[in-house]
Amino acid sequence: MLELSSQNIANALKQTSLFEGKNWVYSPDPFYLSKEQVVELEKIGEACLKFYEGLNLLYNKIAEDKPILRNGGGESANWVLEYLQIGKPDFLLSHASSGKVRSKLPPVIRPDLLLTNEGFVMTELDSVPGGIGLTAFLYQLYGDYPELVGSDKAIFRNFLSAMRGDRNAHLIIAVSKEASTYKPEMEWLVSQLSSQSKIEVVEAEKLDQYVQGGCVVYRFWELFDLENLPAVKVLFEQVENGTFSVTPPMKPQLEEKMGMALYHHPRLNSFWHETINKRNRTILDRIVPKSWILDPTPVAANAILLGPEINGSPISNWSELKNASKKDRNLILKRSGFSEDSWGSRSVSLGSDLSQLEWGEKLEEAIAAFRESPFIVQDFKKPILKEHRVYDKRGEIVVKEGRTRLCPYYFVVNGHANLSGVLATFCPSDKKIIHGMSDAALLPCAKN
């Protein structure tokens, strides 16, 4: 097998623009995972699907004023509904609970997983993920390497099946201006699938000009961006009438990072134990870091908060965290959802990477935002250092040390989450927060 050269990669990218104005570090190798890690990834998809099913069930039961436990027991959980509905317009909440939508789940699941000393740690769970086209392209580019975990063909096949089910429906991928960076990769994806299916990419803002009865719309827009879609109210009506379908469903409760905090909330333990089997709970317990909803509502003078501790002692007010030592503020602060700042790394702050003054300012901003767009606080697990071969600026191979985030893509077909490809982002060792920066390598994964 010939080694994939820097020039080969550059030439392939020149022929296909995948991201507007984006570039990254090239590598001659895929990112290698152990057999045990691959087996774990295959299990994680099913656990994440069960989590979505549980979160959807929890929300629907509370919204319909039903007990959250099968035997009718358990205390009131209206506080969950209050958290998940903060900042959302009434028309969106009404749509999310409508008959044609209430049971729908995302067809694409992508957790962001860090490689740490404790194994995989999930930083978030995305149901409207970018990178599907890019990942398929990389698998095609590295296709001659043995033992790849997934393939471009698996991504193509499962993407179509997850979107359309058993129907041969016209598929429309609608990309908003706000998400336009990802439009080129979607156009490439369509170019690969157009011979197999009636499929096209359109601007979400012009969606009303394209939609027809019986079609399926894959939405690539965030729900906070609905006001920029001129025909959104008509769109809702047509989905609720069954004229056509939009997937993933427009359900903001499934797109909040606070879902991870709800999973760990002790008042919901009985619900999760009843809803998710032990095998999948064991996986979720292992990969979902401790997370808390930053709710500044005052508590009784003798009460403590469900949250992180300072010097081993609980806090009773979130502002107390401003005085935490560097060790105790090894915490991630980020917006939960329904905001232009809630995706990518836009609102992410790592407390131990900031001065105490900077951390205090970020914390106060988050506290002030609660009634409009809540934040969560999350234990930070530092990714381990790994070595990988990359090309330097002269096109020569060098061995670099870095930290890695994995993005496995699961497509839900016939009720099962099918692992179809894994995108690795290999970042320089000095980067604390991993994302698709220009000095990172983007790679498909293979089994070692």
d(CA 52, CA 125): 10
pLDDT of residue 118: 92
Are the C-beta atoms of 389 and 399 separated by less than 8 Å? yes
What's the pLDDT band for 233 if we cut at 50, 70, 90?
A: confident
pLDDT of residue 269: 95
What's the pLDDT band for 412 if we cut at 50, 70, 90?
A: very high
Mean pLDDT to the nearest integer, 231-239: 85
Q: Is the dihedral of CA 426, 432, 434, 438 positive or negative?
A: negative
If residue 422 lies in a helix (H) or strand (E), which one and from where to where? strand 416-428
pLDDT of residue 212: 76
What's the pLDDT band for 207 if we cut at 50, 70, 90?
A: confident
Are the C-beta atoms of 106 and 55 separated by less than 8 Å? no
Q: Output the six-digit token pair for 399.
A: 């061995």
Are the C-beta atoms of 206 and 115 separated by less than 8 Å? no
Q: Output the six-digit token pair for 179.
A: 């998400």
d(CA 443, CA 31): 6
pLDDT of residue 435: 65
Check residues 71 and 56 and name the one with the higher pLDDT: 56
pLDDT in tens, 82-112: 999 999 999 999 999 999 999 999 999 999 9
SS3 337: coil
pLDDT of residue 436: 61
If you average pLDDT over every residue of the chain, what do you get? 92
Are the C-beta atoms of 226 and 174 separated by less than 8 Å? no
Q: Is the pLDDT of residue 58 over 90?
A: yes
d(CA 226, CA 423): 29
Rounded to a whole number of angstroms, the CA Rg of the chain reads 22
Q: Is the pLDDT of residue 161 over 80?
A: yes
Check residues 381 and 197 and name the one with the higher pLDDT: 381
Q: Is the pLDDT of residue 17 over 80?
A: no
pLDDT in tens, 68-77: 998 876 678 9
Give per-residue burial for 47-68: e unless 16+ CB within 10 Å, then b: bbbbbbebbbebbbbbbeeeeb
Mean pLDDT to the nearest integer, 245-256: 95
d(CA 22, CA 129): 17
Question: Torsion over CA of 59, 86, 97 and 271, rounded to 10 degrees?
Answer: 0
* Torsion region of 313: left, alpha or beta (phi above 0 gives left; psi -120 to 50 gives alpha): beta
Q: Is the pLDDT of residue 317 over 70?
A: yes
pLDDT of residue 443: 96
Angle (CA) 406-408-410 rounded to 5° is: 165
Q: How far is CA 233 from CA 242, 255, 273, 360, in A?
A: 14, 20, 38, 41
Are the C-beta atoms of 178 and 222 separated by less than 8 Å? yes
Neighbour tally for 339: CB within 10 Å:
18
Q: Is the pLDDT of residue 360 over 70?
A: yes
d(CA 423, CA 447): 13
pLDDT of residue 21: 62
Helices and strands (DSSP H and E) totals, the chain: 12, 17
What's the pLDDT band for 230 if we cut at 50, 70, 90?
A: confident
Q: Is the pLDDT of residue 345 over 90?
A: no
What's the pLDDT band for 346 if we cut at 50, 70, 90?
A: confident
Q: How far is CA 438 from CA 5, 123, 178, 400, in A?
A: 19, 21, 20, 15
User: How large is the angle between the packed helices 132-141 and 183-193, nearest 10 degrees?
Assistant: 60
d(CA 367, CA 254): 23
**Cis preceding linkage at 408, omega within 30:** no
Mean pLDDT to the nearest integer, 359-368: 96
Whether the full predicted model's pTM is greater than 0.85, yes or no, is: yes
* Residue whose pair of structure tokens reads 């697990």 in the numeric block: 381
pLDDT of residue 1: 58
Choose the weakest-confidence range: 74-88, 263-277, 363-377: 74-88
| Strand-strand pairing, 416-428 and 441-447 | antiparallel
Beta strand extents in 237-368 (DSSP E only): 245-247, 291-293, 309-310, 313-314, 331-335, 349-350
